Structure 1
Amino acid sequence: MDYVEIAVPFFLLALLLELAYGKLINKNTYKLNDTISSLFMGSLRGTSGILKIGFSGYVYYQIETHFALWRMDSNLWITWIFAFVAYDFFYYWFHRFSHERQIFWASHVAHHQSEEYNLSTALRQTGTGFFISWIFYIPLFLIGVPSYVMVSVGTLNLIYQFWVHSRHIPKLGWYELFFVTPSNHRVHHAQNDLYIDKNYGGVFIIWDRLFSTFQEEQDDEECVYGIRGAIKTFDPVKANIHIYQKIFKDLSYSISVRNFYNVLTAKTGWCPDGSSEGSSDESFDPTTFTKHDPDIKPFTKFYVFVQFLCMAYAAVVLLADKNLEYDHGVILIALVIFSMFCTSQWLDAKKIMHLEYSKLVGILIGLCYLYFFSPEFFLLNILMIYFFLNIIFLPFLRRT
């Protein structure tokens, strides 16, 4: 069972409570631009997850049906305990490879781009991880873990990781020895020389202690969040593809088979010219680090928030409607992605009226298609309201 959909309302409630608590104690860890960007990323992750279920689900089904050595009994509690622990073990290696190898880092980097650290960071998930993450869990199907159990423990693992994305929770004593906590996960998200590429566990920190990747949070070394070689934008599309762009660029320079192989398999940040762009080997000075935080006008913030609410509604529809027609899904996903892209440009303090006009044209094309081919589509009127809402905002945006 996928428990994440059930947990999402509680995630959002916890996010609001953390925001209120931070305001109350005068230690707010949220910024509008960063939070909206993270929630956009989470929405993209949710819609791309549809592809993951289709592709990896087929592979897992074939393995479970034809190649599994035996089938564990899902009615036995020992099966669930074994699966939960074993899943986290393989998650540790997936997570470690996702930092240490370039092609895997490309699908994980988006989660680490936030220069803040709060519960919204937990929702900042990559939209391309489904390409390769499923490979690491094949052994569990081979040894007979039922798919129902796998989905359940996988989502429980993900849910556990939500609460550790907080700066307000201190060290937790003996619990730190065995489990992932806010303290040791803060280390994981930091780019300081002392902290970078450490603490990969999802639930259990014991894997890091066993395989020498553990680092305790130090009182005299404040965590500096984000990635080396920061992209300096809140654009969710750029966040998902910029490492892939680097890889393809490097491949175009790779005139030898060896370089071609290295670009795909070498350590994160490796370049054909011998440099180490964006890797843990790149020099980093926390005293000179500045966060990407452009100043935008109050009306722009209001517009961004309205757009976010619209995109959130569309994402919920995409996830909740299991019977959505394929062409309807394609139209909605395309509009959501382009609207997120446009909105992120305003967060970056860029005036992009030409993109706003392009968005209106895209919405109009979608409306025409739905009106002529699916006049009964339940979101047709909602999409029309969204179209006119964007038109109303245009004159105000031109003056910002």
Structure 2
Amino acid sequence: MHWNYLSLAVPFFIGLMLLEYFISRRLGKNYYQLHSSVANISVGIAERLSDVLIAGAFYFVYDYIQKHYGLFTIKPGIALWILLLLFTDFIWYWYHRLAHEINILWIVHIVHHQSEDYNYTVSARITVFQALVRTAFWSVLPLIGFPAQMITAMLLIHGMYPFFVHTRLIGKLGILEYIFVTPSHHRVHHASNEKYLDKNYGDVLIIWDKLFGTFQKEEEEPTYGLTKPLKTYSFLWQHFHFAIELWLAVKSKSSIKEKWKVITGRPEKLDTSLREKAEALFNIKQAAHDIDQPLNKYVIMQVIGLLASLFIFIALEKYFSAGFKIGFTLLVLLTLINCGAIMEQKRWIFLVESLRLSVLLILFFCFPQYLYFKLFVLLTITTIFVLYYRLAEKRYLQVVYRNR
């Protein structure tokens, strides 16, 4: 049996999150909020899932560029691995900085900064859109001549490092503060304090920030999140709210030149009232905070189920058909959308639950064994569901929201 060992990253990082949680509780620190952590992990689940589906395409892009347009033919060696690390980190610095300074790029990066907590779960807030944009920047590496094997190995290591700096448990690290990005440096980057804005863009090395004038050491206690906090747990809204705000801003301009200035302008220059206009357009309201314990348990069980399923899916993805992968991805996305909706006590969650059941049944039929029996089961369930939809919806909402 072929086992994808990258699947072990799921229990490894979840284990570290749990360790940080229990240590912080033992120290009397309230670093974890349930709904914030669920929202963070939900974004990470979607990104990991999409990465399984498209990672091979990234490798193909790097390999094609290097073989057809590479300026040099580079062979692996210690000195060249070090050089690749420097190039990778340098490119990341400029991608990261531009993602904060240009509206169209801020669309794909803003999700990472929405959490008002700062712990290991925040490191999971990476979207597939960010992965796609970063690939365009990383494409400089094969253009130089680095082979795809070296690049993918380096990006794997380079991508793991930031996880460990998303914590409040680790203080300043002495001499390491002068060379590497540390938890202290990255806390500054995630802060919304005026003096901390647009600072410390480095990923592994802090030298780029010191070289280009964007370094700021941690002094006062950081306040985390956006300068204008996003008060929602909606999986979809977290991903697309700024794109909608930017679209409204572009739409309000008359000339192409003005529209282009908005697209390439700085996020802080955007009209702050656009958030309210976008929220009104899609009826987005303040997230609920008085949620019953059984409802929290229901959400937690769904997230645990998703993480277990993701682990198995990554481990055995070679054995799944393209159709099954698409269906599984849809099932996961519907579950993530529903988790956010449940935490905000939306009335339309039963519709999403119905769609989830439908996708689950379709996945059930992806396996050809006992086809006629499965058709009978599908027909029976569909008939019952159609006849008793309203009653089922009423009972479901009563159970979930406890007669609210």
Q: TM-score range by the shorter chain?
A: 0.7 to 0.9
Name 2:283's counterpart in structure 1.
Answer: none
Structure 1 distance, partners of 2:295, 2:188, is 34
**What code does the residue aligned with 2:358 have?**
I
Name 2:324's counterpart in structure 1.
Answer: 328
Spell out the pairing of 1:189-338 with structure 2 (5 A cutoff).
Answer: 189-218=190-219, 221-271=220-270, 275=271, 294-320=289-315, 321-338=317-334
Spell out structure 1 runs of 4+ moving beyond 6 A: 390-393
**What code does the residue aligned with 2:400 have?**
L
**More helix per residue:** 2
**What code does the residue aligned with 1:355 have?**
I
Shift of 1:266: 1.3
Q: Any conservation in 2 of the 1:101–1:268 contact (CA below 8 Å)?
A: yes
Q: Deviations over 1:165-220 (max 9, x none)?
A: 111111111110110001011000000000011000000000000000000000xx
Report how many aligned residue pairs link the two structures: 371
Name 1:282's counterpart in structure 2.
Answer: none
Q: Any conservation in 1 of the 2:330–2:359 contact (CA below 8 Å)?
A: no
Q: Any conservation in 2 of the 1:94–1:133 contact (CA below 8 Å)?
A: yes
Structure 2 distance, partners of 1:51, 1:102, is 28
RMSD value, Cα: 2.8
Change (3 A) 1:168 1:372: closer
Name 1:346's counterpart in structure 2.
Answer: 342
Structure 2 distance, partners of 1:233, 1:130, is 24
Shift of 1:319: 2.7
Structure 2 distance, partners of 1:169, 1:370, is 44
Q: Any conservation in 2 of the 1:229–1:278 contact (CA below 8 Å)?
A: no
Q: Any conservation in 2 of the 1:191–1:228 contact (CA below 8 Å)?
A: yes
Structure 2: 5+ residue runs without aligned partners?
Answer: 276-285, 386-391
Spell out the pairing of 1:95-244 with structure 2 (5 A cutoff).
Answer: 95-218=96-219, 221-244=220-243
The reply to whether residue 362 of structure 1 matches residue 355 of structure 2 is: yes
Name 1:396's counterpart in structure 2.
Answer: 399
Q: Any conservation in 2 of the 1:41–1:127 contact (CA below 8 Å)?
A: no
Structure 2 distance, partners of 1:365, 1:178, is 53
Shift of 1:130: 2.6
Q: Deviations over 1:31-80 (max 9, x none)?
A: 11111111111001112224542543343222111000222112x11121
Change (3 A) 1:121 1:205: same
Shift of 1:108: 0.7
Shift of 1:102: 0.7
Q: Deviations over 1:130-182 (max 9, x none)?
A: 33111112221111111111111111112111111111111111110110001
Name 1:285's counterpart in structure 2.
Answer: none
Q: Any conservation in 1 of the 2:327–2:363 contact (CA below 8 Å)?
A: no
**What code does the residue aligned with 1:333 have?**
T
Name 1:92's counterpart in structure 2.
Answer: 93
Structure 1 distance, partners of 2:8, 2:308, is 16
**What code does the residue aligned with 1:47 have?**
L
Structure 1 distance, partners of 2:30, 2:288, is 15
Structure 1 distance, partners of 2:229, 2:307, is 26
- For the residue of structure 2 that corresponds to 1:163, the secondary structure is helix
Q: Deviations over 1:325-351 (max 9, x none)?
A: 222222221221122111112223x24
Spell out the pairing of 1:31-70 with structure 2 (5 A cutoff).
Answer: 31-50=33-52, 52-70=54-72
Structure 2 distance, partners of 1:324, 1:249, is 41
Name 2:29's counterpart in structure 1.
Answer: 27
Q: Which moved more, 1:316-325 or 1:99-108?
A: 316-325
Change (3 A) 1:55 1:22: same
Q: Deviations over 1:235-261 (max 9, x none)?
A: 222111111112222232232111221
Structure 1 distance, partners of 2:59, 2:234, is 30
Identical-residue share of aligned pairs (%): 32
